[in-house]
């Protein structure tokens, strides 16, 4: 019996000693591993990763994960899984700090990418023009006016687009002067182009001259065409039109009646009372009849058109019977004058062609005050409007200034017509 108790005692001592030694060895091993782990953490504390043009820094956590988690040491060469350790502490995920470029650097990078994409698209469009069969096409874009509001400038700024082709005779005058002719005659005036090209013509007389049915004729014969209408403050437009008529008379000696008036004041003295008695103020009830009578005046007394062209609401009503915002774009002439690039960006969307003309392509000429198109693919050459399109608004204009008192008188004359226009459009274009 004593021998059995002795044996059991020895066995207990042996087992206890074994576990004591085991625990001691294990603790030493853990301490050793913690030291190794700390060394690895210090070695890989900051690892930089370069992605495109932006730099990101990955910081490994300085806190060891909870017991039971696997420690992953991030290496620029390989990933090493560390052993499980028994150390308490909160879990902290690796943090990513975005080291941003300056706003100027970002803007420069974005602009460079935009220009690269433009050049690629531009070259593809040019190539497409040379690989497809060309034929005559009816216009996809028709400018209908208004005269002296920037219709030529609009065409000048849009024409550089590879998919825009302007007819040789810029103003076709088909629907006002040959409205009864077959549409094949109109087609014969068009250039031969590739299928994806948008042909454009502009005839400002379409908007405000007879016959009354011009909008219906265009819609029926050229249904795919979209309409661009440029409107400008009508009082100033009168003066610009007066100067234009005198310039045209001096060049062509074509009689229009302008030669009998030496100044704008002389003209207004005769025609303001005449037109006022018939059409001012604007009257919604009699508007349809007024439109017809205005067109009759255009036929019988051309000089009255300098004033009656500015009755925009009367003329616009007949167009709105056939066109809406989806196929008619109304442009503020002052916006075209001050921000042609912004207008060009919108019109490219309007006629659904790739946008390759941008706001920054148009720069102001310090001498004239007018914008020019900066040819990005021709060493930045400036393509400016001809001087005969800058008679009254250019800094270098030699025209007599429009007397302020006369200008205000005309603004009062157009006031009710302007308000009617703004109501039709749902927006104000200028102060009336």
Positions annotated as catalytic residues are 148
Query: What does the DSSP 8-state code read for residue 382?
Result: E
**H or E segment to which residue 289 belongs:** helix 287-300
Query: Which of 271, 242, 269, 237 minimizes the C-alpha distance to 258?
Result: 242
- Backbone φ, ψ for residue 228 (5° rounding): -120, 125
Residues 212-236 as b or e (16 or more Cβ within 10 Å = b): eebbebbbebbeebbbbbbbbbbbb
How far apart, in whole angstroms, are the C-alpha atoms of residue 94 and residue 71? 12
- E-state strands within 266-361: 328-332
Is residue 240 a known part of a binding site? yes
| CB neighbourhood size of 129 (10 A) | 15
Question: Is 404:415 a contact under the CB 8 Å cutoff?
Answer: no
Query: Which of 174, 164, 149 minimizes the C-alpha distance to 241?
Result: 149
Query: Which of 312, 295, 350 minimizes the C-alpha distance to 231?
Result: 312
- What are 276's two structure tokens? 């006022």
Q: Which residue has the tokens 């008192």?
A: 405
How far apart, in whole angstroms, are the C-alpha atoms of residue 211 and residue 181? 14
Report cis status (omega within 30 of 0) of the bond before 228.
no
Question: Is 158:164 a contact under the CB 8 Å cutoff?
Answer: yes
């Amino acid at each position: 019996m004593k021998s059995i108790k002795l044996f059991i005692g020895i066995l207990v001592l042996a087992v206890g000693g074994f576990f004591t030694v085991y625990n001691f060895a294990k603790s030493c091993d853990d301490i050793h591993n913690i030291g190794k782990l700390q060394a690895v953490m210090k070695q890989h504390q900051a690892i930089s990763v370069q992605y495109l043009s932006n730099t990101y820094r990955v910081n490994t956590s300085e806190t060891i994960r909870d017991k039971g988690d696997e420690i992953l040491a991030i290496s620029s060469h390989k990933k090493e899984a560390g052993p499980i350790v028994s150390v308490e502490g909160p879990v902290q995920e690796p943090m990513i700090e975005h080291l941003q470029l300056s706003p100027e650097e970002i803007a420069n990078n974005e602009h460079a990418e935009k220009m690269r994409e433009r050049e690629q698209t531009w070259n593809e469009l040019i190539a497409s023009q040379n690989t497809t069969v060309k034929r005559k096409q009816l216009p996809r874009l028709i400018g209908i006016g208004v005269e002296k509001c920037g219709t030529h400038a609009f065409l000048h700024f849009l024409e550089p687009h590879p998919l825009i082709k302007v007819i040789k005779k810029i103003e076709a005058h088909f629907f006002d002067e040959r409205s009864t002719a077959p549409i094949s005659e109109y087609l014969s005036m068009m250039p031969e182009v590739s299928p994806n090209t948008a042909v454009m013509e502009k005839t400002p007389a379409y908007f405000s001259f007879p016959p009354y049915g011009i909008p219906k004729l265009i819609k029926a014969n050229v249904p795919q065409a979209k309409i661009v209408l440029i409107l400008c403050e009508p009082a100033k437009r009168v003066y610009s039109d007066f100067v234009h008529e005198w310039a045209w008379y001096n060049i062509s000696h074509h009689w229009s009646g302008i030669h009998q008036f030496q100044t704008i004041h002389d003209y207004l003295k005769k025609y303001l009372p005449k037109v006022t008695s018939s059409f001012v103020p604007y009257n919604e009830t009699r508007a349809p009849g007024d439109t017809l009578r205005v067109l009759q005046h255009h036929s019988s007394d051309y000089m009255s058109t300098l004033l009656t062209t500015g009755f925009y609401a009367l003329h616009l009503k007949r167009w709105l019977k056939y066109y809406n915002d989806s196929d008619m774009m109304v442009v503020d002439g002052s916006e075209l004058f001050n921000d042609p690039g912004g207008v060009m960006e919108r019109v490219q969307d309007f006629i659904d062609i790739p946008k390759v003309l941008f706001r920054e392509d148009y720069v102001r000429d310090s001498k004239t005050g007018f914008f020019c198109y900066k040819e990005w693919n021709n060493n930045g050459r400036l393509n400016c409007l001809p001087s005969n399109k800058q008679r009254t608004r250019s800094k270098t204009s030699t025209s007599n200034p429009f007397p302020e008192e006369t200008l205000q008188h005309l603004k009062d004359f157009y006031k009710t017509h302007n308000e009617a226009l703004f109501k039709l459009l749902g927006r104000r274009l200028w102060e009336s």
